[in-house]
Structure 1
């Protein structure tokens, strides 16, 4: 069996061993323009490709690198993003012409700003692609003007606007990961802007240091005096498959100044290792998409620094899935301090063999080492071991969403415990806010950031301002990290399990959590409403059951007037996407033979005397129940059909019956309460509102349309002390009498018509034929006529019935006949 067959078999086996993924469903979803989630957009007709973001330290100014321009946006206002100044930086016509002559599209020849970093307190260092001839310049951050003439940016900025790069400035020196040639074949990790005795450094051009990398991010660890680069590349150590992609972390020391003879002006501290985002018995998620650094908590050592990354897989088994893995700095350092693979320069094959260590690759201070030691680190730069994720497991994995960018924040909850919150952006234009718990990731909310899916290029988090900035090709969007005012009841605030929010019993509002508030209702780990809200009088205690609920405590609910044998469909608003709807009736069981529970949570049934009455919709989430809707299904009191009117119900915002007041500005749920009806001359007319619903159901091949109406008061409601099931059944005595009378009349009319039809048929048969009786009567003599009458008289008198064919007055074939076929005998 060759290596390729072995690999295919391994992939197949691991695919079968992969466990079923738990579906990660956002608890609340906010579509574009939802009033429950306020977003601020910035866009301009003459500004595009706003893909590079740089946020000031105080969070009041956002610098944006766009196409042919650098923008300064004032983001200190709550409801607006204001353009303060704009620096135009575009290539000349000659530069564009030369770019086109190189065979590039004119759409790719403008100056795309790809590097924006604070050089000091007064200046920004920026670089752009500049018509496939990179340029860099110094920009005054106050006036947004160029301080010096732009200089060459090779090795600092990519040539191609579609190539990913990374850049970071530390102590006035620029560290970059990009490509250093026009064709994109020379990837480099380099240092620029060095001063004094320090010199600019880059990687050695020897084959194997980097293999077709895609740079993702870079991060500085001040206590370590090291900078870490994250990228993906072709893993040459896996020689049994072509183009096998691996994710890497590499390091360099900021104190490195290169070797004296060997590795002059080259890194002597470069080392790289594989990042392995993989769970046990599963295929690895081997392609890194984005990564962010979470500094250690206050007072914790630097080794507790965490790196959270998004990974995808090149295997078809994991196609369409995104995984999040976290890596601890102490594990990365441990891998770099271990053994290293050996590269055979003749065969370009990696091997692992125990050898004498001449030097420790990746160790700072090697610039003073011997040539023999520098040659050792030059050929041994790939760590033998891989960096495993924290807990040797995936932080979270999603089979429904392809995540492209993330940022991470540590949040202190009301119980003074720290929680990690991830902000993840999907390729379809949604932002997911997830909190990491011991039981797994919990997605608090989903916010649609862009109406049309588009590639997202940059993501910046302002922790002091509590804002998230997203940069794309069309503009910049600002998203608040917290949305506490949306949860307008204590149960909803607790069930959200948002570390940013807690329920304040004094103001009866869900407010932002802070260290000064210790009495906030909050339970991030379990979401226990009972304990967090001290809910003694919550309605989920008052459940329907025998001797549990007096009739007086049951509100009239929403009135639904129906006719018998009509199909009824009762809607039930969901408290969240994680809740389950449950229907109940007072002291009655919902038999599956009579009721149909639909997928959207609604209840459908046929209106009969048995199914009339009250219905309650209950929402259950995390062990907590609340009443979402109450309906009273009642037979129509008037036989006059109501005029149908088409109207639809907007997305409902359920309000639990435990709260007496509603808070404005929530936007997602709608209060389910009774509506009033207007009565005019004994006829009830529903007052139409946005909560009325038209329900169309198909039954026995016919479309039945039911219009529901709502009433605030029910005239025939339950009396105090009367059990709920003691509602009197309607009397049909009068209707029975009326139907019986009508039935008798109909039968009488039917019999009369039948007799009339029979009589008419007999007369038509006994009537003389046209012309015959008249002519015969005219030919008889008076004596014959008298004799004929006398014969008939004698027949009747003797009690004899006339026979067929005799002279009895019957007409047969249009002639009177006797026994001999002639006239009957007459007395002489």
Structure 2
């Protein structure tokens, strides 16, 4: 059997051996324009395709390359993006007609700005597709006007607006990776705008230095005096697989001026190597989507520079998955300084035959080398080894989301330790914020930034301003990197594991981490809220005392009036998408025969005498437990509510409840206020004699606990009204009352002495016992619930959970809302 047949079979078998991918669920999800995660947008009816971004050095001006225009946006204000200047740069009517005559769609013929780079302190160099005839120009940054007439942009900008390219300016010279012809068949890595003795350079394409590449990104390392280009292409060294895609990193030296005879006006320092994003016993993620550079920490060597890239796979077994791999600069340098593959000129096939090195490909200064050395580097430019990911493993992998773009930042936590935070843009329009931990990646939150899929997007991170700018076809979005004020309790602040945020015990709010407030409650690695919030719990105890919160101070819960044999459903808000809900009853076990726990965390059961009483919904996350909802299910006191009648009980005041608004399938939904009426029920179509009552916990819990006496009076007034409408039996009642009085008088006379003696020997506790026996069943149930809640409070104080009592003061946040619920 031939090798081309064996290899696909081997790859397929290898795919079955791949271990299961760990599910990465964002802890919190924010739908578009959610009040819990406010974003700033800029859009205009005459501006579109705002996808090329360039941020000024001070971070106050964002230059945007759009369709037929260049914008200067003032982003210095926290809550707004203001249009400062606009430069219109569109093709003429004749240019558009010629583009259409070439067979191109008219929608693709405008001028899409694809290159936007600072040339110096006063000018920007910009290039656009310009009706499939690229043009470049100089733009004054102050006035946003063209300084010179546009010139030809071949080799500097792509013809097609959907082709990816990369460009950067170093010392006034433009380095680009793009295509240099109309059909897109001539890929080039070239230098332009050279002056003096320096000349413009490009690749020697006679030997196929590039094989149908897609350029992704480029970066300049000043200490190395090298520019690294990242792209994907067809791997010709794997000639036994048809169109096997590989990810590459290539390098050139900025000091290169070409050879004297051999490689004239061509790169003499070009070399490339494969980037291998692969875990053990798994197929590689071979298609690079985006890559970003993370500079080393202060004082660390330059070799510690990391490149974080998003990879997908061309193999069906990994279809729909995205992986993130990181590569260290020292590993890239090591591969380029090693052996190189040899190209057979006759068969154009690569081999790993070791031969004597005449020169070291990729080494700077080769423009002065001999013709023999230049011929060697011309034919040996592919490194033999591959650059493997750090730790030879994947940084993170997601089977649920396809990532397209990323940016990376190093953040110092409250304990002084540095953490890497990734901002990843999904194809479905969400921005994921993930922190890299020792145990793996943790997605702190996801934010919906646009609705429709976008073909071209870009991210620009401003670390000093603490914001990310996202350029889409619809608008420019400004996203703050931190959202600490969203977490209302210490536990939620710690459980988020956000290196940007920590709990301040003095002000009792979740704040941004800075060097001035190092004593913050934070645990990024473990998320241990009990330990991190211990100081806050102690402050709470010292304020109220360990046993100064009697059970009577806790509310009886939201009153739910139901009829017997009625189906009841109690809702419970989730603290996060990573939390699990648990229902409890005082001194009772929730049997599976009587109760049904639904997927959304709610509890459903049929109202019977055995199921009336108090219910608590508890949320557990990472070993930390907190109370999210308290209900008191009570039978309706109106006797007519049990029989068919035309009487309708008057509705009480509307209670605010929560209604979910989020992406379908997400566990946690950001809530907004709606209204429902207490006692409202729905009749199921299958059984008209059975009613279903669904209760949701209101965002402001005190709304149903401030006036219990008033509600009791309302019920009593209703009973009096019903009694007035009943038939009169006054005569019979008088006769029965007289007989009862005579009987009681006789009994009192006989036992008066005995009762008097017993009263003299009674103690206060005994009186209290008789008093409790005279309580109504509802009052006895409430007393048992209060004792149960009091015990939970004492246990919580002993275990460090003093700040998460089941009282209203603990359930509501600083603004009277549930923890983790936006305003």
1:203 & 1:375 partners in 2: Cα distance? 14
Hey, what does 1:678 align to over in structure 2? none
Hey, what does 1:51 align to over in structure 2? 51
1:363 & 1:539 partners in 2: Cα distance? 63
Hey, what does 1:67 align to over in structure 2? 67
Q: Structure 1 630/112 Cα, relative in aligned 2: closer, same or farther at 3 Å?
A: same
Q: Structure 1 593/721 Cα, relative in aligned 2: closer, same or farther at 3 Å?
A: farther
Hey, what does 2:763 align to over in structure 1? none
The alpha carbon displacement at 1:196 in A equals 1.7
Q: Structure 1 219/251 Cα, relative in aligned 2: closer, same or farther at 3 Å?
A: same
Hey, what does 1:748 align to over in structure 2? none
Hey, what does 1:373 align to over in structure 2? 373
Q: Structure 1 702/349 Cα, relative in aligned 2: closer, same or farther at 3 Å?
A: farther
Is 1:634 aligned to 2:642, yes or no?
A: no
Hey, what does 2:317 align to over in structure 1? 317
1:15 & 1:692 partners in 2: Cα distance? 57
Hey, what does 2:146 align to over in structure 1? 146
Hey, what does 2:565 align to over in structure 1? 565
Contact 1:234 1:245 in 2 (8 A): yes
Is 1:110 aligned to 2:106, yes or no?
A: no
Q: Structure 1 346/569 Cα, relative in aligned 2: closer, same or farther at 3 Å?
A: same
Q: Structure 1 80/540 Cα, relative in aligned 2: closer, same or farther at 3 Å?
A: closer
TM-score (norm 2): 0.81
Q: Structure 1 93/724 Cα, relative in aligned 2: closer, same or farther at 3 Å?
A: farther
Hey, what does 2:96 align to over in structure 1? 96
Contact 2:656 2:676 in 1 (8 A): no
1:277-288 correspondence to structure 2 within 5 Å: 277-288=277-288
Specify which of 688, 693, 703 is matched with residue 706 of structure 1. Answer: 693
2:411 & 2:145 partners in 1: Cα distance? 38
Contact 2:423 2:431 in 1 (8 A): yes
SS at match of 1:111: coil
1:406-485 correspondence to structure 2 within 5 Å: 406-485=406-485
The alpha carbon displacement at 1:700 in A equals 6.2
1:721 & 1:373 partners in 2: Cα distance? 105
Contact 1:275 1:386 in 2 (8 A): yes
Deviation digits for residues 573-605 of structure 1 (CA, Å, limit 9, x no counterpart): 000000000111112211111111111001111
Hey, what does 1:650 align to over in structure 2? 658
The alpha carbon displacement at 1:282 in A equals 0.5
Contact 1:649 1:693 in 2 (8 A): no
SS at match of 1:168: strand
Hey, what does 2:295 align to over in structure 1? 295
Hey, what does 1:239 align to over in structure 2? 239
What is the root-mean-square deviation of aligned Cα atoms in Å? 2.9
Hey, what does 2:736 align to over in structure 1? none
Q: Structure 1 634/291 Cα, relative in aligned 2: closer, same or farther at 3 Å?
A: same
2:576 & 2:621 partners in 1: Cα distance? 8
Hey, what does 2:342 align to over in structure 1? 342
1:589 & 1:726 partners in 2: Cα distance? 27
The alpha carbon displacement at 1:550 in A equals 7.8
| Greater helix content | 2
Hey, what does 2:78 align to over in structure 1? 78
Deviation digits for residues 752-773 of structure 1 (CA, Å, limit 9, x no counterpart): xxxxxxxxxxxxxxxxxxxxxx
Dislocated runs of 4+, deviation >3 Å: 535-541, 549-554, 640-649, 666-671, 687-703, 707-711, 713-717, 719-731
Contact 2:231 2:288 in 1 (8 A): yes
Contact 1:559 1:631 in 2 (8 A): yes
The alpha carbon displacement at 1:565 in A equals 1.3
Hey, what does 1:7 align to over in structure 2? 7
Q: Structure 1 69/639 Cα, relative in aligned 2: closer, same or farther at 3 Å?
A: same
Hey, what does 2:811 align to over in structure 1? none
Hey, what does 1:255 align to over in structure 2? 255
SS at match of 1:15: helix
Q: Structure 1 126/583 Cα, relative in aligned 2: closer, same or farther at 3 Å?
A: same
SS at match of 1:72: strand
Contact 2:466 2:481 in 1 (8 A): yes
Hey, what does 1:215 align to over in structure 2? 215
2:182 & 2:155 partners in 1: Cα distance? 10
SS at match of 1:12: helix
SS at match of 1:575: coil
The alpha carbon displacement at 1:80 in A equals 1.4
Contact 1:491 1:529 in 2 (8 A): yes
2:253 & 2:415 partners in 1: Cα distance? 40
Hey, what does 1:623 align to over in structure 2? 623
Hey, what does 1:194 align to over in structure 2? 194
The alpha carbon displacement at 1:151 in A equals 1.0
- Bigger Rg over Cα: 1
Contact 1:551 1:721 in 2 (8 A): no
Contact 1:586 1:725 in 2 (8 A): no
1:725 & 1:529 partners in 2: Cα distance? 43
SS at match of 1:561: strand
SS at match of 1:650: strand
* Unpaired runs of at least 5, structure 1: 542-546, 654-665, 672-686, 732-828
Hey, what does 1:392 align to over in structure 2? 392
Report which stretch shifted further, 587-596 or 532-541: 532-541
The alpha carbon displacement at 1:698 in A equals 7.3
1:413 & 1:397 partners in 2: Cα distance? 24
Hey, what does 1:772 align to over in structure 2? none
The alpha carbon displacement at 1:481 in A equals 0.7
Hey, what does 1:679 align to over in structure 2? none
2:688 & 2:394 partners in 1: Cα distance? 52
SS at match of 2:96: helix
Deviation digits for residues 767-787 of structure 1 (CA, Å, limit 9, x no counterpart): xxxxxxxxxxxxxxxxxxxxx
Q: Structure 1 691/624 Cα, relative in aligned 2: closer, same or farther at 3 Å?
A: farther
1:317 & 1:309 partners in 2: Cα distance? 21
Hey, what does 1:169 align to over in structure 2? 169
Hey, what does 1:360 align to over in structure 2? 360
1:648-797 correspondence to structure 2 within 5 Å: 649-651=657-659, 668=670, 704-706=691-693, 708=695, 711-712=704-705, 729=777
1:99 & 1:495 partners in 2: Cα distance? 56
Q: Structure 1 16/535 Cα, relative in aligned 2: closer, same or farther at 3 Å?
A: farther
The alpha carbon displacement at 1:441 in A equals 0.5
1:234 & 1:573 partners in 2: Cα distance? 51
Contact 2:277 2:284 in 1 (8 A): yes
The alpha carbon displacement at 1:720 in A equals 10
Q: Structure 1 694/362 Cα, relative in aligned 2: closer, same or farther at 3 Å?
A: farther
TM-score (norm 1): 0.80
Report which stretch shifted further, 114-123 or 701-710: 701-710
Contact 1:262 1:374 in 2 (8 A): yes
Q: Structure 1 643/693 Cα, relative in aligned 2: closer, same or farther at 3 Å?
A: closer
Hey, what does 1:180 align to over in structure 2? 180
Is 1:505 aligned to 2:514, yes or no?
A: no
Contact 1:485 1:509 in 2 (8 A): yes
1:462 & 1:688 partners in 2: Cα distance? 41
Q: Structure 1 631/537 Cα, relative in aligned 2: closer, same or farther at 3 Å?
A: farther
Contact 2:117 2:125 in 1 (8 A): yes
Deviation digits for residues 470-493 of structure 1 (CA, Å, limit 9, x no counterpart): 111111111111111111111111
SS at match of 1:596: strand
1:46 & 1:723 partners in 2: Cα distance? 78
Hey, what does 2:530 align to over in structure 1? 530
Q: Structure 1 413/168 Cα, relative in aligned 2: closer, same or farther at 3 Å?
A: same
